[in-house]
Structure 1
Amino acid sequence: MIRSLLIANRGEIACRVIRTARELGVRTVAVYSDADRKALHVRLADEAVHIGASPARESYLVGEKIIAAARESGAEAIHPGYGFLSENADFAQSVIDAGLIWVGPKPDSIRAMGLKDAAKKLMQEAGVPVTPGYLGENQDPAHLKTEAGKIGYPVLIKAVAGGGGKGMRKVEAADGFDDALDSAKREAASSFGDNRVLIEKFVQSPRHIEVQIFGDSHGNVVHLFERDCSLQRRHQKVIEEAPAPGMDEATREAVCGAAVRAAQAVSYEGAGTVEFIADASDGLKPDRIWFMEMNTRLQVEHPVTEEITGEDLVEWQLRVASGERLPKAQDELAIQGHAIEARLYAEDPSKGFLPSVGKLEHFDLGDRVRIETGVEEGDAISSFYDPMIAKLIAWGEDRETAIGELAAILDGVEIWPVRTNAGFLFNALLSDEFGLADLNTNFIGDHLDDLVPDPEPDDSLWRGAAAVALTPADETDEGLSGFRLNAPPRRSVALGRAGTFRTVSTDDGDLAAVSGFRDADRVVAFYEGQAYEFALSARGSVSAVGGDGAIVAPMPGKVTAVEVKQGAKVRKGERLLTLEAMKMEHGLTAPFDGVVAELNAKAGAQVTDGAVLARIDPQEKA
């Protein structure tokens, strides 16, 4: 067994790997950037090595620094987690060339599956069904359009080197093909340095089914059954579950068998996921599921597989990397119950899912289900990395029980002042369609308006917040608790939002079943995953959108471009400046025709949430 392990990652996956390594008696080494100097994974590891500045391209993505940290710390193996360098074949080879153990598949296996067109050709040769499409070398636009016509619209244009939905365009008819192709190629070139594309038949009612596979250096390959990852937003998974609902044994045997053949075709070692797309218009059928791609690493959603099999996949990774045989044979693996995972993100669904960053002043996820996280109360969500706060994983004897368990924990999520998607996840889990397993990858887009919680509280929530305000914090609290010595308890309190106050009585109707906290100036109430802030007095302040014409920073970030000057005339919708936060760019535009009356932003400046960056006077005032 490996004796010492460096984790070339951060956040919850680094913490997850450290936990298993500790159980196996393996010494762990963390790496960290400036932003992560006090991060949880740094605190948990036996040793930690600083590797650079906060941007990932200056730290976590610099392979030379990772290998140098391993040598400095005496680590004999490197676990890449997921993301960052986990599917970089050149980095994997560099680790091996440095005399270290790479906890992952062989570099040749990573390369074989790295390009979508080459991988699909390889899968066809291995007898794995692939989506109908064009995988040829001819990239002439006219030829590609001809091939799309042969396949039949609608089609998908996909970047050969793509991932995460980049370089992907759906085309409904031939007259839209040319523009979509140009757009896909530009994005592919920008994102991957490769503008080549392939064409696939667009599946009308798609479900995303993936199979967990494992191989060892002794030629053994097994599958650990399938997962359903159909609930996605902008091609990013949101809720995953195992096993896939509606999967009969014949279909399971077909898809899992195909996944094993895919792994065998590249002599696969370690953990991997073979992803399929299923046409679910008539349920899951063996002949209606096709290979999409293979992820040559551990997946974010691996805990649901662990929950239904009772296996520790990180332990399997470490044992395989140490040269051991797979811990179990295929006939020793079985499905027990049902598991669902929800990804809790630092984002605000009511503001178009804009990232939300800052210190976790109040952080409580309860203890009803399995929680994978890389933060604790008092830690900060940084704008430099992925905004996932935690993964919440529930298991039940059946799917209905697992849904209930996960919904209960989401209902009780208490996070402040960072905003989260907990309320959105709660609504998705308890929607009628999800309960009936009426799923496809369009689910969130089709139901978005129903899933995003109302950012404004109703009357029962106001009364629930009043109850929190009137609850004594401790036995000595006599002020805002509603209890006074030698006097009856008060049943009403003045609460405010956006500067408007009203007297709220807990006796005027039903109360929402909220939890929450308060201080001298405010109450924060939590209900069904959503957080609501109320001021307690005129001294209190409540976050609010800037007034007419005020261009307000929606989150902390860096101003990367200022495209107007003070005094300039602007048109409604014209971009004024660009803010970068959490690896995303956000263009701030003019709300109406007018003149730039005030300009406080400078390119390169860091700004705080709510800062007034500019002010536009209406045209008639100019």
Structure 2
Amino acid sequence: MKDNNTNYLNNPLIHKDRRLANADSDWVRSFDCTHMRPLIICRGPIRKEAMDVFEEMGINHYGILLSEKDSITYQSALAPELRKLTNPAHIHRVPDYTGADKEERAQRIQQIVNIAKNNGYNAIFAGYGFMSEDAEMVEGMEQAGLNFIGPCSFTQKSAGMKDQAKRTALETGVSVTPGVNNATSLALFDKYGKDGLEQCAKDNNLDVDFAACKDDEEKALALLAASYDAGIDIIVAADIGAALQVEAKRMLAEKPNNRFRLKAIAGGGGKGQRILQSANSYAGETLEEKVEKAAAKVPSLVLECLIELKTNGVGDNKNVLIEMNIDTTRHQEIQVVGNGEWCMTMGGRDCSLQMHEQKLLEVSVTEEELKDAIKVAEAAGKTAEAEQLQRDLLILEKMEHEGAIFGEAVKLDSVGTFECIVDGESHYFMEMNTRIQVEHRVTELCYKLKFTNPHNSDEYFIAESLVEVMVLIATHGTKLPKPERILRSKASVEARMNATNQALQPHAGGIIENWSNPIDGEIRDDQGISMHNPDTDVFMKYHLAGAYDSNIALLLTIGDDRTNTYQRMAEVLRVTELRGKDLATNLEFHYGLVNWFLGNNINARPTTRFIVPYLTAVGLLKKEANNLDVNYAYQQVCAQLLGNCGSDEEKSALQAVLARKQLMLTRPLEQLLAEPHLLAGWLSVNQPAYSMEGGKLSWKQNPVRILAETYHFLNMDYCESKPAAEMIWDHDHEILQQAIAFYDVLEEKLGTNNYGQLVELLAGNAPEGMTTEQWHGVQAAHAGYQAGSEILSLLAYIGYRTEFFELYVNEDLSINIPDRLTDETLQKAMAKVLVPPPVAKSDEILAPTGGMFYSCEAPGMPAFVEAGSHFNAGDPLYIIEVMKMFNKVIAPFSGTIDKVLVDLDGTIIKKGQPIFKITPDEVVVVETDEEIQARRKAETDDFLSQLTLTDA
């Protein structure tokens, strides 16, 4: 079968022969894993990766678990891995992976155990997400005699639960984020008193050894643990919310300008977390009044955290942490590997580029790359940059040291991630993910592990895949010697290709109808979606169900330094063609973002709050672009140029030139104005080409060359096999190539490639060796090639007019974010500019995206609205579950509900589907087509009137 999607495609660093059974050494052969028969109970790219790695290791007896929820929305949304795994005996199905509540989760665990036992599997691989960090599930597998390929239940309990992890961190001297991690204990004390814990145990028939506890906190924890085991609630979510509300008031009063984060202890990947806004963000005469308003949100936020994780059932551990949210933080994490005795690290990853707690672009952090970057910065005289890079190196060393200590303390016997936040010169431990991470490939592309016989250094084997390492540890445990990490590449970067719209909001349900093949140097993990039909070599369509998460693929590149790595990623994104029906992805966003860093400073240190202001800046570009009519602007530029002609003959010749060049100049402009993320990237990488002073735009580089590079930037290079609509047209290509050839010769003749100097020389007399007549011909050719290129100035002027360039990297690598881009009102408005809401009748409210409808906060609670309810702008109307997140849909205006059009909670809804019939308080005025056209012409005239064009 032709496989255009092998996880290791075109990656020269990865070797496929992992069969230790074929080694010459008895010692190496002793670590063979071919007897493992794993059942894969995860989904997404990691499932396909595990399948590939297992086969490379010689593990051929494996199966996969499918959830019916994978195709609950669209029956054709089958797991693409089935295109490879065609043996039905190795494909098993369950209703969903985890169950809706604690009782159903227990049933699902037993169901998975039965599937494994009845089908000859001896191991479980849970990858990332779902059940990979479920200590109860892991314990159930262990008790059933199944080998869990991942951290054991002891580690899961010690490190996987956020409250216990923080206690362990404090005990081992690891720096932690300031906050409260014992909300359940505090709620217990509030409800029963410290002296009433034993009576509580008696009343509920709970057997607790209070005498073995050293203090009240341990007594509370022991009592709570007994209640979880018994499946009863001695405290409920409301008790925890009340206890945390008290703590929040104290914390808000102490730090009124700080936001705080609520985190359910079993959360991960952004689920089960909510932000509590600062006290000073509320109106009030006194601080006490502001604190009360802010803290009033705590109980409902606690409930949201628990509901999103489905841990609000009877007997669930409902502990929720509250921590100081360091808004200037960078999110960094350390890859940790251990076998229960030894523990080591494999460098770091910067995951600060994220939104809604979902990571977008992740880049490696290695000692080798940082040391090189420091030398480069010092050689260039960039003192502040070198100092920041040196601080980053020291922080990395500290985090790796603490990560190894913590991993050893929790007896990590697989791979895990030591997650930290970095604030200035300080770092704080957040949590340990007791599983492999989505972004683990970023690490394994930088380092591999060499396992050497302690008694004979000539005997060794090398593991390049972290999935392989997980299998080795699960199979051979403490027999494995502590490995040596070996450098593979100094830098790597991963872009998460997600099903999201231009504003990065989840967009479920599209059909991928075509996906270009990976190019050299591209590493693509996409679940098998890119696999072609083995008989026809044709791409097979794939329907994105979106029941679980928005990820379509992981794209990775490597390099000798971060710049090289980002350049390769930009090239991958430039040529990737991903098309389909009702398909929205963040491909253009990634291309724009990567080019923003290439155009500003690749070593920039963004915080986790960078993306939303960046999107707001892109939205402002789009808002201005929407107001411009490119063809009308070109006509006006032509009219101005023709008005300057001295004779009818000259005017006629120029008119012919301008008419012939119109589409060559306007086609790429129209595409850039239609795609704001592409425009953002173009403006960023082309900053050296222009400048603006006093309203005058000056070109520092030849606009003809900029035009040619723009066609390349947009992947519109001339190619005979491409459809005409997707490339520069042949006659335009011919003109452009003639122009470039002309300037190549002219620059060599005049001895300069500086465009400003070239223009000055062209305005003067003929150079030596050229007649006046020849020189006039050169000047005429220059005028003809440049004619009409003034329209390109429109792009740069949009950047200046929207103050896009005020978002820049400082000398110390921090990013200057203008205050206006942090305004929430503007942020929301620009999100709507990037993705206008579905066109609705004035008496309807439509679904903004596909997903699952819920009328209320949680089962048993009243609906947000019902027929007859009046709502105000900003009120919650319903919840839509899409891509594993619960999103409250807020009313965009005030009105009254006439009829609810969705009857049942859990109903699948589609984008644009009417949800309510309403009567708005105010009549919505819709702009006519004629009014839109008139407005665009007026705005375009305003642009042109303020823009003074000049050559250099």
Q: Fold match, TM over 0.5?
A: yes
Give the partner amino acid of 2:586: N
- C-alpha separation in 2, matches of 1:121 and 1:386: 31
Partner of 1:156: 260
- C-alpha separation in 1, matches of 2:301 and 2:894: 33
Partner of 1:166: 272
1:524-563 alignment to 2 at 5 Å? Answer: 545-561=839-855
Mark the CA change 1:595 to 1:392 in structure 2 (over 3 Å): closer, same or farther.
same
Give 1:24 deviation, angstroms: 0.6
Partner of 1:144: 247
Q: Deviations over 1:417-463 (max 9, x none)?
A: 3101122222222224662323211111332213568498887899x
Q: Deviations over 1:336-389 (max 9, x none)?
A: 320111111101134x61323232123336334111112344111113111110
Mark the CA change 1:93 to 1:434 in structure 2 (over 3 Å): closer, same or farther.
farther
- C-alpha separation in 1, matches of 2:550 and 2:254: 38
Mark the CA change 1:461 to 1:257 in structure 2 (over 3 Å): closer, same or farther.
farther
Give the partner amino acid of 1:144: E
The answer to whether the aligner puts 1:94 opposite 2:140 as a matched pair is yes
Give the partner amino acid of 1:314: V
Amino-acid identity (%): 25
Matching residue within 108, 113, 124 for 2:159: 113
Matching residue within 31, 48, 58 for 1:25: 58
The answer to whether the aligner puts 1:179 opposite 2:323 as a matched pair is no
Partner of 1:506: none
The answer to whether the aligner puts 1:391 opposite 2:554 as a matched pair is yes
Matching residue within 596, 601, 606 for 1:431: 596
The answer to whether the aligner puts 1:103 opposite 2:149 as a matched pair is yes
1:419-568 alignment to 2 at 5 Å? Answer: 419-432=584-597, 435-451=602-618, 454=622, 512=711, 514=714, 545-561=839-855
Give the partner amino acid of 1:25: G
The answer to whether the aligner puts 1:270 opposite 2:414 as a matched pair is yes
1:313-462 alignment to 2 at 5 Å? Answer: 313-323=466-476, 329=482, 331-334=484-487, 336-350=489-503, 353-364=505-516, 366-367=518-519, 368-374=521-527, 375-376=529-530, 377-415=540-578, 416=580, 417-432=582-597, 435-451=602-618, 454=622
Q: Deviations over 1:71-107 (max 9, x none)?
A: 2321111111111100111111111111111101110
Mark the CA change 1:524 to 1:568 in structure 2 (over 3 Å): closer, same or farther.
farther
SS at 1:299's partner residue? coil
Matching residue within 345, 350, 356 for 1:228: 350
Assess if the C-alpha contact under 8 Å between 1:31 and 1:42 holds in 2: no
- C-alpha separation in 1, matches of 2:174 and 2:881: 42
Assess if the C-alpha contact under 8 Å between 1:590 and 1:616 holds in 2: no
- C-alpha separation in 1, matches of 2:156 and 2:437: 15
Assess if the C-alpha contact under 8 Å between 2:492 and 2:565 holds in 1: yes
- C-alpha separation in 2, matches of 1:81 and 1:229: 19
Partner of 1:82: 128
The normalised TM-score by structure 2 is: 0.52
SS at 2:165's partner residue? helix
Matching residue within 53, 59, 62 for 2:95: 53
- C-alpha separation in 1, matches of 2:471 and 2:138: 15
Mark the CA change 1:38 to 1:202 in structure 2 (over 3 Å): closer, same or farther.
closer
Give 1:240 deviation, angstroms: 1.0
The answer to whether the aligner puts 1:14 opposite 2:181 as a matched pair is no
Assess if the C-alpha contact under 8 Å between 1:51 and 1:65 holds in 2: no
Give the partner amino acid of 2:544: I
Partner of 1:538: none
Partner of 2:398: 254
- C-alpha separation in 1, matches of 2:893 and 2:150: 53
Partner of 2:447: 309
Give the partner amino acid of 2:173: G
- C-alpha separation in 2, matches of 1:361 and 1:102: 37
SS at 1:99's partner residue? coil
Mark the CA change 1:427 to 1:119 in structure 2 (over 3 Å): closer, same or farther.
same
Mark the CA change 1:201 to 1:129 in structure 2 (over 3 Å): closer, same or farther.
same
Give the partner amino acid of 2:91: V
1:198-237 alignment to 2 at 5 Å? Answer: 198-217=321-340, 219-237=341-359
Mark the CA change 1:260 to 1:568 in structure 2 (over 3 Å): closer, same or farther.
closer
Give 1:113 deviation, angstroms: 1.3
- C-alpha separation in 2, matches of 1:523 and 1:331: 54
Q: Structure 1: any 5+ residue segments left out of the alignment?
A: 463-490, 498-508, 517-521, 528-542
Mark the CA change 1:115 to 1:595 in structure 2 (over 3 Å): closer, same or farther.
closer
SS at 1:276's partner residue? strand
Give the partner amino acid of 1:7: I
SS at 1:138's partner residue? helix
Assess if the C-alpha contact under 8 Å between 1:428 and 1:451 holds in 2: no
Matching residue within 858, 883, 903 for 1:582: 883
Give 1:108 deviation, angstroms: 0.9
Give 1:180 deviation, angstroms: 4.5
Assess if the C-alpha contact under 8 Å between 2:38 and 2:122 holds in 1: yes
- C-alpha separation in 1, matches of 2:868 and 2:299: 37
Assess if the C-alpha contact under 8 Å between 1:341 and 1:393 holds in 2: yes
Structure 1 stretch 45-54 or stretch 401-410: which is displaced more?
Answer: 45-54
SS at 1:119's partner residue? helix
Give 1:132 deviation, angstroms: 3.5
Partner of 2:732: none
Give the partner amino acid of 2:337: F
Assess if the C-alpha contact under 8 Å between 2:272 and 2:306 holds in 1: no
Q: Deviations over 1:378-418 (max 9, x none)?
A: 11111311111011111111000111111222233333231
Give 1:115 deviation, angstroms: 2.9
Assess if the C-alpha contact under 8 Å between 2:151 and 2:413 holds in 1: yes
Q: Structure 2: any 5+ residue segments left out of the alignment?
A: 1-32, 72-76, 191-242, 280-286, 371-388, 449-463, 531-539, 633-662, 671-706, 717-722, 729-836, 856-862, 925-952
The answer to whether the aligner puts 1:240 opposite 2:372 as a matched pair is no
RMSD: 4.1
Larger radius of gyration: 2
Give the partner amino acid of 1:379: Y
- C-alpha separation in 1, matches of 2:259 and 2:129: 28
Q: Deviations over 1:490-512 (max 9, x none)?
A: x8999xx9xxxxxxxxxxx9885
Structure with the higher strand share, 1 or 2: 1
Give 1:18 deviation, angstroms: 0.6
Mark the CA change 1:608 to 1:237 in structure 2 (over 3 Å): closer, same or farther.
closer
- C-alpha separation in 2, matches of 1:44 and 1:299: 24
Structure 1 stretch 19-28 or stretch 162-171: which is displaced more?
Answer: 162-171
Structure 1 stretch 380-389 or stretch 329-338: which is displaced more?
Answer: 329-338
SS at 1:435's partner residue? coil
Give the partner amino acid of 1:221: C
SS at 1:128's partner residue? coil
Give 1:243 deviation, angstroms: 1.3
Assess if the C-alpha contact under 8 Å between 1:56 and 1:384 holds in 2: no
Assess if the C-alpha contact under 8 Å between 2:842 and 2:923 holds in 1: no
SS at 1:438's partner residue? coil
Number of matched residues? Answer: 556
Q: Deviations over 1:146-188 (max 9, x none)?
A: 7637975536343351532634434534643522433443334
SS at 1:130's partner residue? coil
